[in-house]
Structure 1
């Protein structure tokens, strides 16, 4: 091979390498811009809390219904079914006011982005702006407004030592709202800092609210900004009233499946997964809606978490199917589906369905529970907090 041919080959290889390298660079540059425009390195803006979590039982005003036997007729002055709170499954509650409904989360189509400021352009739509602003709800949150005298770049986002969920959104110098992040080149005119006032641990206390306001004021002072707060006492009164409402509708229904002999874990897993449930990190099998929210879950009656290891070599003397009433969209229809699955379990494993007093579950008892569910759902709808909605998932978490 002549020196000319060798030179041509080397030159051709160099050109190919340059083209490939340029294409890789362009792909990396486009991916980086798209990630900057649409990525969000923050907790779930709607939940930020574990699924199906229940209160720790510190307070005694949260109840769980007991499934009533067919032969037990209630007295005229007694409720349709007796509330009872098992020690193993404590209950929860949360806050929400009727002033507005949470918008459903929306997905944005990703356009082809060529401009240098594509991160700002990604937010520049009415739908996206409304979604960001709706992350803070005056009916659920205590919202402090921090206004900078000049557009301000934050080196780090502040952290607040409070026991409730906090959320920060910011208005950029272009006037667009976004989840507040400490990004180089992003300058804010205003930061809104919210603290959720009610959850299943109860309503925010006066001391907690004062501590939050003090920390926000210190942040504003450090950045030479003005800060304004809602009227504290008015918010505290509203939070307590909302907390009482949430306590009234915060119900967890448990249906116990008691077999004649213990259920082998491997067989249980095979049957449950075939029915569409999946094992989650909390040690329970969950039946999920398309949204990813739990419709009902299955746990061991003795509260031993299911793991792939325990399901291989252990047996379970009883199971409990849980239906977290305020967190489930779909109402009585979903409850009926949960009961149908419980009956499938009973048939498969030669078991009985019983309530927490070990009384056999009857159709009469189920009818009474359905009636109570309709009352609960009606109360929630009247309040403007639909079961399974964003507000309900925040309040009952």
Structure 2
């Protein structure tokens, strides 16, 4: 055997030893990181407890008449939100053991095995909050402040979202977080919301495509319900797999709540939302003559209403929230270009009950404006059955409106709140 052959054999042996040593170092590094993240668990500001949020997801538009009283027999507090159960600590421990046993496995561990816990009566265990990852070299004071930050339930809430929580090894830029699973998540029929903990401002914020921030504490919420219905198992499965892949790509620890409780909660939430999803309409019809578009526009704009992209005159509050809308009872809708030449025999004022705070007050404002239109245009107020709306007929509607909104508030979903705006969309 020549000296060249001996030299090559020696170099090959040294390379093999180097690769093995590097792998061992990587495994040790990842194991220590997992142990640090899984041992230092604190309260998660998003996943621990539901907070007053919003209402959601009815389906058919209902315009009640004066006599109709829908069934309101929904038990307050009956809604459930997906949470992570008390086997989380056991799961975390077993995840660490798996890393020790499989020394050639270099993937970041996840906590998705939380699904294995099926007993809903077990005490709940919190998901790690923004300051829980002590192995991520976050300054101590910053860790404490991230736990003390106000809970961003207007951004994500376990009451209406299935929330995946991530703690990354290194800060990840916004574009990488959003782009990683974009092609997969676009197939999901429910909205997906991304937020991250900004360590400079020490606040949770939406993660946006052109954002320049980097995040180590990330929450991704899949909305459980909207007006199209509840989340189904196929969409949740796609989301679940995408979140596991995201954790691997970001080298992150992932906490994923069990799926079946989330699906059960979505079905229950959808049923409740359907029971309160009503719209109240007041019609102004002509008595033979037509309502000219120029006069309609003058009246509407004098009342602070503007035409939107859907062909409606919209009345909004100071924060831009829609209070009620004015529709043309005859096709087509309104447009700025056609108002000079169009005319109609009827108008409809419409109040979307779940999306409007202080419903009784807004209803009275809408009623006053409808009466003003009727006086100026010489029309008459009627219900959907073209029966005249007397004060006696209006009072039951006010009572029902107040009852619906009280039910929503009792479930932690007050009408017009930000989460409710998401649910009823």
TM-score between both structures, scaled by the size of structure 2: 0.63
Verify: 1:163 aligned to 2:161, yes or no. no
Verify: 1:222 aligned to 2:222, yes or no. no
Q: How do 1:199-238 residues align onto structure 2 when only pairs under 5 Å count?
A: 199-238=226-265
Q: Which residue of 2 aligns with 1:250?
A: 277
Aligned with residue 62 of structure 2, among 64, 68, 72: 64
Give the C-alpha shift of residue 376 in structure 1: 0.7
Q: Which residue of 1 aligns with 2:164?
A: 144
Tell me, yes or no, if the aligned pair for 1:203 and 1:240 is still in contact at 8 Å: yes
Give the C-alpha shift of residue 318 in structure 1: 0.8
SS of 1:137's equivalent? coil
Q: How do 1:86-105 residues align onto structure 2 when only pairs under 5 Å count?
A: none
Verify: 1:328 aligned to 2:380, yes or no. no
SS of 1:311's equivalent? coil
Q: How do 1:269-280 residues align onto structure 2 when only pairs under 5 Å count?
A: 269-280=297-308
CA distance in 2, matches of 1:154, 1:330: 38
RMSD: 3.0
Q: Which residue of 2 aligns with 1:357?
A: 385
Tell me, yes or no, if the aligned pair for 1:132 and 1:179 is still in contact at 8 Å: no
Tell me, yes or no, if the aligned pair for 1:67 and 1:361 is still in contact at 8 Å: no
Verify: 1:317 aligned to 2:337, yes or no. no
Q: In terms of Rg, which structure is larger?
A: 2
Gaps of 5+ in 1: 1-52, 69-73, 83-95, 100-123
Verify: 1:308 aligned to 2:331, yes or no. no
Give the C-alpha shift of residue 81 in structure 1: 7.7
Give the C-alpha shift of residue 319 in structure 1: 0.7
Tell me, yes or no, if the aligned pair for 2:79 and 2:269 is still in contact at 8 Å: yes
Tell me, yes or no, if the aligned pair for 2:162 and 2:223 is still in contact at 8 Å: yes
Tell me, yes or no, if the aligned pair for 1:153 and 1:182 is still in contact at 8 Å: no
Go from structure 1 to structure 2 and tell me whether the alpha carbon gap of 1:231 and 1:189 turns closer, same or farther (over 3 Å shift). Answer: same
Equivalenced residues, count: 294
SS of 1:312's equivalent? coil
Go from structure 1 to structure 2 and tell me whether the alpha carbon gap of 1:350 and 1:229 turns closer, same or farther (over 3 Å shift). Answer: same
Q: Which residue of 1 aligns with 2:225?
A: 198
Give the C-alpha shift of residue 177 in structure 1: 3.9
Q: Which residue of 1 aligns with 2:11?
A: none
1:217-245 per-residue CA deviation (whole Å, 9 max, x = no partner) reads 22222333332211111111111111111
Go from structure 1 to structure 2 and tell me whether the alpha carbon gap of 1:382 and 1:133 turns closer, same or farther (over 3 Å shift). Answer: closer
SS of 1:310's equivalent? coil
Tell me, yes or no, if the aligned pair for 1:67 and 1:354 is still in contact at 8 Å: no
Gaps of 5+ in 2: 1-55, 72-77, 82-143
